Structure 1
């Protein structure tokens, strides 16, 4: 009898189904999944239509608006968040370089995608995070799911998304949201749970209803942590746009993917620079805004 490490073969190879059984099982699952998608295709299209309309509208607005107007709006947002002339000047220089290298339209397309993805992630993540903070049972149920969402390779997200929604901007948007929403949920949950128990007890003593306590005490005090979640959501959305370009998302991610495919070093570098520039602008802005909220909260607490 053949042995390995002095043991029988039966103990050296894990028992598994034969190749034919595995093929039949996989084919049955895939065919069943496709049939479910075909049967509910109209419902799926109707559910994603608002996202498609909003994304197309915002993309047209960003790409067709005069570049000076868009730059003024972006710099105004940066100033409102960071309140730093250094950050505003850095953002202006980055946007000028993006325009000089002919990447303005693609950058605006990417910015529209990231904006919509961030809004959707916040609309999903904030209430889910609040529910997790208010219920230990929900937290125990959702924590493993969030672990899977954060550890599963980003390319794997595209498989069920493409099967269900097909190729296009909305499938890419959904993949970006799935990848970017866990930090928003986790940090909302963490921020509310870290609110000083004495403060919530004082609210209870004054007869505050659960809704009043949530919106009047817990959310304002958790706002710095929530803003950190928004920051991480934006960063992860930008990181995912290159992968999402594989399913039809345009913008800078598509250019990077083409550069990788055709080995265009300069094209890939310039589009990568534009992505990094956007990431740094919004990272500095959201971080500065979160720090200002933290200082304001500490000042009120003192």
Structure 2
């Protein structure tokens, strides 16, 4: 009896033809590539050249000078404490000593550019969400989708449209790292005291004056916390981005995994950790200021 019911249910399921979703996606992707080639090709070529130039220019700076600059900045940003400068000097010297300085510059370039783009996109979108409930209801599911979708899923379209190298790595980092800035900007502006907003309205402030002189300054700490998370998420993507040809410390980790060589992978991973700690402490101390 049970087998008969099972066969009947399976027959019902088999009656429905298979939905050719994969074919539709392939056709749509091919159409996008052909139609918007004029848009993707310049990004792939010119922006890729810009990223390579940025990393090479940073690598041209003598390591000792760059270490001193970072240490001096760390000294003043940390409130003239010596802990962060000493850690920065030792950590960056260790990376240089292990022959990973050029890889560090490529990784830093990827994190820097992707973080800047995330902030440029994320802060205005967060402001829009804070001003419009309709925009918030539309954008929130998109942010949820961006944060919950596995990174490997959007690596494929990144490679299809942008080739391999730094550019698709930045694209993947942008998708993964932008939501915190958007969410924290929206949250920070919504948490501004209503009395302050009403006082600015009472004094005849325009919308832009209220935004730039009241809401954004009061929400600065929250927004900076979102930017800190964005930078950290961008850095967490360097190993995944190496799978699509992005150079840097992540590629060394990936190569060590493929060859099952623990030592080089551990050293490259330590370099990523050191860079993450330095960037995290920098952004946190800027937020305190």
Instruction: Answer yes or no: same fold by TM over 0.5.
Output: yes
Aligned partner of 2:25 among 19, 23, 29: 29
Matched position secondary structure for 2:88:
helix
* 1:291 and 2:284 correspond: no
Q: Distance in 2 between matches of 1:246 and 1:105?
A: 18
Aligned partner of 1:178 among 160, 175, 180: 175
Does the Cα contact within 8 Å between 2:44 and 2:163 map onto a contact in 1? no
Q: Which runs of 5+ in 1 are unaligned?
A: 293-302
Aligned partner of 2:62 among 66, 71, 76: 66
The corresponding residue for 1:298 is: none
Q: Deviations for 1:208-238, whole angstroms, at most 9, x for unmatched residues?
A: 0000000001111111111111111111011
Q: Distance in 1 between matches of 2:12 and 2:286?
A: 54
Q: Distance in 1 between matches of 2:241 and 2:286?
A: 29
* 1:217 and 2:217 correspond: no
Q: Deviations for 1:141-160, whole angstroms, at most 9, x for unmatched residues?
A: 01111011111111112011
Q: Which runs of 5+ in 2 are unaligned?
A: none
1:10 is displaced (CA, Å) by 4.4
How high is the TM-score relative to the length of structure 2? 0.92
1:8 is displaced (CA, Å) by 3.6
CA RMSD of aligned residues (A): 2.1
Aligned partner of 2:36 among 37, 40, 59: 40
1:36 is displaced (CA, Å) by 2.2
In structure 2, relative to structure 1, the CA distance for the partners of 1:12 and 1:28 (3 Å cut) is: closer
In structure 2, relative to structure 1, the CA distance for the partners of 1:10 and 1:182 (3 Å cut) is: farther
Aligned partner of 2:106 among 102, 106, 109: 109
1:76 is displaced (CA, Å) by 3.3
In structure 2, relative to structure 1, the CA distance for the partners of 1:290 and 1:193 (3 Å cut) is: same
Does the Cα contact within 8 Å between 1:195 and 1:221 map onto a contact in 2? yes
* 1:92 and 2:89 correspond: yes
How high is the TM-score relative to the length of structure 1? 0.89
Where do residues 138-157 of structure 1 align in structure 2 (5 Å cutoff)? 138-157=135-154
Q: Distance in 1 between matches of 2:213 and 2:8?
A: 65
Does the Cα contact within 8 Å between 2:43 and 2:162 map onto a contact in 1? no
Does the Cα contact within 8 Å between 2:67 and 2:88 map onto a contact in 1? no
Aligned partner of 2:257 among 252, 255, 260: 260
Matched position secondary structure for 2:200:
helix
Matched position secondary structure for 2:126:
helix
Q: Distance in 1 between matches of 2:270 and 2:251?
A: 14
Q: How many residues align?
A: 288
Q: Deviations for 1:163-184, whole angstroms, at most 9, x for unmatched residues?
A: 2212121111111111111111
Matched position secondary structure for 1:274:
helix
1:12 is displaced (CA, Å) by 7.2
Q: Distance in 2 between matches of 1:61 and 1:17?
A: 62
Q: Distance in 2 between matches of 1:13 and 1:194?
A: 56
In structure 2, relative to structure 1, the CA distance for the partners of 1:183 and 1:13 (3 Å cut) is: farther
Where do residues 223-302 of structure 1 align in structure 2 (5 Å cutoff)? 223-292=220-289
The corresponding residue for 2:3 is: 3
Aligned partner of 2:13 among 4, 11, 15: 15
The corresponding residue for 1:202 is: 199
